[in-house]
Amino acid sequence: GFRGIEFGNWVNGAERQKAINDAFDGLMDLSDVLGISPKAISLNGELGIGFGSRGVGGKGAASAHYEAGKVVINLTKKHGKGSLGHEWWHALDNYFSRMRGEKGGFISDRPNQYTVKGPDGGYVMDDRVRKEMLDAFKGVVTAINKSELPARSKNLDAARSKVYWSTPLELTARSFENFLINKLGE
């Protein structure tokens, strides 16, 4: 149910088939762990996936990334394996933000935003995303903020020129990634 699949020019035919097979297996595992339909994994057919097609190589390059503006996950040819769950979380996080009318945003940045400006300029309840879903995201962010993860992440950020590891976006994705590892280990 994915919107599309893209391959980089230097991913040969055999590698393409293996990448699709491995991603399919990983996505089916994700579906099982979350208890949702495999079709739902594609976020209503809005999500695309690329294999070695959208990244920039070199020293310190990311193993994978999610592009909110294009709604696509990219897994690099050499190091993308193992990143699918993490990047899928980013896609899910962005999906609910887009449902709220925010372009390029992530719901984990503002999970307790339950209202929007109404036609009269006052605030009204925003029913584009169910309150239960917002509460779930808020619960995840709250639990992470009560853990030691933010402090450890700030230590990692101390060696960087700008904050990355300690943002709600990365904290939630890394937590989801660890959740998947634990569930799959069971």
Q: What is the pLDDT of residue 16?
A: 94
User: Looking at residue 127, what is its pLDDT?
Assistant: 85
- Please identify which residue in the block is written with the tokens 């943002």: 167
Query: Residue 20: what pLDDT?
Result: 93
58 compared with 66, residue with greater pLDDT: 66
First to last CA, the chain: 28
Mean pLDDT of the chain: 91
Would you state the structure tokens that stand for residue 41, as one six-digit string?
Answer: 């994994």
More confident residue, 161 or 72: 72
On whether the CB atoms of residues 53 and 73 are closer than 8 A, the answer is: no
Q: Read off the pLDDT band of 10 (50, 70, 90).
A: confident
* pLDDT of 58: 62
Is the pLDDT score of 125 beyond 90? no
DSSP three-state, residue 89 = helix
